Structure 1
Amino acid sequence: MSLSGVVPAALQVGAVPASTVLQAVRVNAPVTRDQLAAATALSPATINRQVTLLVSRGLILERPDLVDPGGIGRPKNPLTLDHDKLCVAGMHIGARRTLLAIADLGGRTLYSHAVLTQKDGTSPDDLCAQLRDLAARFSGRRLLWAGIASGGVVDADTGIVDHPVLGWRRTPIGPMLADALGVPVSVCEHVQAMAAAELLLTSPREFDGTGLFFYARETVGMAMTIDGKVHMPRHGAGSIAHLPVRAPVLAPTAAATVQDIVGRAAACRAAERLGVAEDASAITDERAQVLGTTVAMLRDVLNPDAIVVAGDAFAEHPHGLAPVQAAFDAASTTRRPLELSPTRFGVRVQESAAIVVALSVIYADPAAATGGG
């Protein structure tokens, strides 16, 4: 851990044996050692060593009370995560609101609430203090880690964030939260964190191959996953906000971008100009058309194996994703059919992003994250 208390997030499926076993326990619990060996392809000896390590660090528990009546001896004792003694804290910093959450080791939210990010008097110090106060309500648990998922430009090594929408310039939110909570903190770009949640906090899935994750609400963003790892460019995440679009209803200018067609303000302006409701078909249909076409363009460039979409701009059409899918199908020049998948977290996508940043380092290397090699 650096002197600032900031540790870069590890947005990937862990490869070390302890990580493999911890993830398998999370997904399959209650699970025996024999079942872990079958699920992970690790040897029984390796499984035993990792279970001993994870039990000693307080991450998993042996549960003799759950023993199968047909089983005999200690190796048949089921294993589960310790859901009761540990927790992590998370913060998702958005353009309009910030979500604060406390979760257990399995990623289950224990409590969360949102505050207005741009409310007068709400500063980075205020946000850190509010998360500290929230964590204090769970004083019976050991707080292991904290995570921040933020829009804007994020320096994962230092925890410094530039967020032009909020007027943040070189704001050391990571070190500030580490100081407030007294635990290590990881900070990363919020769409990358959302993509990581799809990999790390859901049921088992095939990790091989490539995927794209698109988010569109008040802002737009994209992240890429490769073989179970979120691509995190050394010099920060790229942007799709500036991509040119044709949107005569939502953004009737020659220089319109995809950022101009998302968010409530864009719909309000169009509704006022046209004398219609914000959810009028002229507005929702065009937004779906632009989003589907934009996703198709990037699909044709990168040709991923899967695409996940999230955010109100994708979800609010009266016909769901169908109009976006239709626009995507019409615009893509790649012959292979590809169905757009909605995020598995629904309206909780920001919450999952905050939580996974905190959990990612623990799951990537449980021994190192909990105090040893």
Structure 2
Amino acid sequence: MSFTGVVPAALEVGAAPAAAVLQAIRVNGPVTRDHLATATALSPATINRQVTTLSRAGLIVERPDLVDPGGIGRPKNPLTLDRDKLCVAGMHIGARRTLLAISDLGGRTLYSHAVRTPREAAEVGDLCIQLRDLAARFSGRRLLWAGVAAGGVVDSSGIIDHPVLAWQRVPVGPMLADALGVPVSVCEHVQAMAAAELLLTYPREFEGTGLFFYARETVGMALTIDGKVHMPRQGAGSIGHLPVRAPILAPDGVATIQEVVGSAPAQRAAQRHGIEPHSSAIVDEQAQVLGATVAMMRDVINPDAIVVSGDAFAAHPDGLAPVQAAFDAATTHRRPLELSPSRFGIRVQESAAVVVALSVIYADPLAATD
């Protein structure tokens, strides 16, 4: 199967044998075939077939240079991802800045930089040209796929409606596919961040449910189920409208979470009350709002794990502790649940940019490289 144009994102851990073997090599490599059989529960014959096919596709390589010279018996060549011949391109479109990135097959960033997010939809073509020029710097590698992560409403054809930017029906996916000449996948940015937690680090538990919360200048939430990010056909849902009590941050004491999270609401509240934006009154209330909102969604869904990310969660001098305290006070479930910070920290936008492309490859590596 040969993909062209815009291909729906696949934010999941693939279940097919080739996907299972590729994922196991990414997580455990360098690794021998014997270890792959243990990690995947596949038969040795199936492992050998998948290794041969993945090698021919250029996704993995044997590394005889890593054989232990002091080992006993016939040496077994370890396997690793081929990090030298392939790459993917990524774009994370934020409210203020857009991050452009090139990464290898394992998600290691080869180069990235941020540019101003255009306010006019007509300027989106410039972003595509900039990413094309960035990919051209790595002409020694084959550009396999590209991905876009963006706020707003994203459909499977790569068209974006972004209310914060006043974008309406902007065909980002088709424009980027034309500029790069490779398949492109597009998805909502918080969904992409949740996928990065599954696919670009040592794995969290794939089984069960998880919530991923992001809060910076905008807020969002994604749900993961058994190693797959939930992607509703009609686009991601929204939590920005959820009501919160915020006597200091909101003039009337009641607002939506979107209206009180971020630097702009803190600045406005500081001016009203004659205090500093980073004063304890403001950061304490923002932590309270975040903890209570996460608890509200926990009580509805009752996930097995919760991951939080974004500057708003890290804005308090005491870190995540005040948010956790507010969460513990607000939740109605008796089972204790610790909020886990994202493993990517300030690199969360970078990871979101490249995982959209990489996830398609890891979901079905043979189809993606055909």
TM over 0.5: yes
Question: Secondary structure of the equivalent of 2:242?
Answer: coil
User: Using the alignment, how far apart are the partners of 1:192 and 1:131 within structure 2?
Assistant: 22
Give the C-alpha shift of residue 68 in structure 1: 2.2
- Give the SS at the match of 1:267: helix
Q: Report SS of the residue matched to 1:348.
A: helix
- In structure 2, distance between residues paired with 1:88 and 1:2: 17
Aligned ranges for residues 233-248 of structure 1 at < 5 Å?
A: 233-248=232-247
Q: Distance in 2 between matches of 1:71 and 1:298?
A: 55
CA separation of 1:82/1:263 partners in 2, compared to 1, >3 Å: closer, same or farther?
Answer: same
- Asked if 1:78 is matched to 2:60, the reply is no
Q: CA deviation at 1:348?
A: 0.5
Q: Is residue 2:281 matched to residue 1:315?
A: no
Partner of 2:132: 132
Q: How does 1:45-64 map to 2 (within 5 A)?
A: 45-64=45-64
Deviations 1:19-67 (A, max 9, x none): 0000111111111111111111110000000000000000000111111
The answer as to whether partners of 2:2 and 2:368 remain within 8 angstroms in 1 is no
Counterpart in 1 of 2:228? Answer: 229
Q: Distance in 1 between matches of 2:73 and 2:126?
A: 55
Give distance in 2, aligned partners of 1:284 and 1:114.
27
2:185 corresponds to which residue?
Answer: 186
Q: Corresponding residue for 2:21?
A: 21
The corresponding residue for 2:266 is 267
- Per-residue deviation, 1:124: 0.8
Any residues of structure 2 matched to 1:202-217 within 5 Å, and which?
A: 202-217=201-216
Q: Structure 1 residue 73: deviation in Å?
A: 4.3
Q: Secondary structure at the match of 1:196?
A: helix
Shift of residue 167, structure 1, vs aligned partner: 1.6
How many matched pairs? 369
Moved more, 39-48 or 110-119: 110-119
Correspondence for 1:369 = 368
Q: What CA deviation, in whole Å up to 9, does each residue of 1:120-167 have, x standing for no partner?
A: 8982101111111111111111100000000000002x1000011112
Distance change (3 Å), C-alpha of 1:71 and 1:86: farther
Give the whole-Å Cα distance in 1 for the aligned partners of 2:3 and 2:101.
25
1:4 to partner: Cα distance: 6.6
Q: Could you tell me how far apart the structure 2 residues matched to 1:31 and 1:209 are?
A: 27
Confirm or deny: 8 A CA contact 2:19 2:364 kept in the other structure: yes
Matched AA of 1:133? D
Quote the Cα distance in structure 2 between the aligned partners of 1:46 and 1:298: 42
Residue in structure 1 matched with residue 41 of structure 2 by the alignment: 41
Q: Deviations over 1:337-364 (max 9, x none)?
A: 0000000100001111111101001000
**In structure 1, distance between residues paired with 2:121 and 2:332:** 49
Q: In structure 2, what is the Cα distance between the partners aligned to 1:290 and 1:119? A: 30
Judging changes above 3 Å, is the alpha-carbon distance between structure 1 residues 320 and 87 closer, same or farther for their aligned structure 2 residues? Answer: same
2:12 matches 1:12: yes
Cα 1:112/1:165, change in 2 over 3 Å: same
Residue identity in the other structure for 2:180: L
1:216-365 correspondence runs (5 A): 216-253=215-252, 256-365=255-364
> Cα distance 1:124–1:65, how it changes in 2: closer, same or farther (>3 A)?
same
Greater mean deviation of Cα atoms: 217-226 or 202-211: 202-211
Question: 2 CA distance for matches of 1:141 and 1:72?
Answer: 37
When residues 4 and 38 of structure 1 are mapped into structure 2, their CA distance, relative to the original with a 3 A threshold, is: closer
Alpha carbons 1:19, 1:366 under 8 Å: kept: yes
**Counterpart AA for 1:42:** L
Q: 1:327 corresponds to which letter in structure 2?
A: A
- 8 Å CA contact 2:247–2:253 kept in 1: the answer is no
Residue 24 of structure 1 aligns to a residue whose secondary structure is helix
Q: Which runs of 5+ in 1 are unaligned?
A: none
**Does structure 2 retain, via aligned residues, the 8 Å contact 1:193–1:356?**
yes
**How far off its partner does 1:263 sit?**
1.8
Further displaced range: 116-125 or 217-226: 116-125
Within 1, Cα distance between the matches of 2:360 and 2:3?
17
Q: Distance in 2 between matches of 1:71 and 1:358?
A: 41
- Code of the aligned partner of 2:169: R
Deviation sequence 1:101-120 (CA, Å, 0-9, x none): 00000001111111111468
Q: Relative to structure 2, which stretch is displaced further, 282-291 or 244-253?
A: 244-253
Deviant stretches of 4+, over 3 Å? 1-4, 71-74, 118-122
3-state DSSP of counterpart to 1:99: strand
Q: Deviations over 1:144-196 (max 9, x none)?
A: 0000000000002x100001111211000001000000100000000001001
- Kindly indicate whether the alpha-carbon contact (under 8 Å) linking 2:120 and 2:167 is maintained by their aligned counterparts in 1: no
TM-score by structure 1 length?
0.96
| Distance in 2, Cα, partners of 1:3 & 1:13 | 20
Residue 147 of structure 2 corresponds to which residue in structure 1?
Answer: 147
Q: Indicate the larger mover: 84-93 or 250-259.
A: 250-259
Tell me the alpha carbon deviations over residues 266-287 of structure 1, each in whole angstroms, 9 at most, x when there is no partner.
1111111122221111110000
Q: Do the aligned residues in 2 keep the contact of 1:295 with 1:328 (CA within 8 Å)?
A: yes
User: Match of 2:10, SS?
Assistant: coil
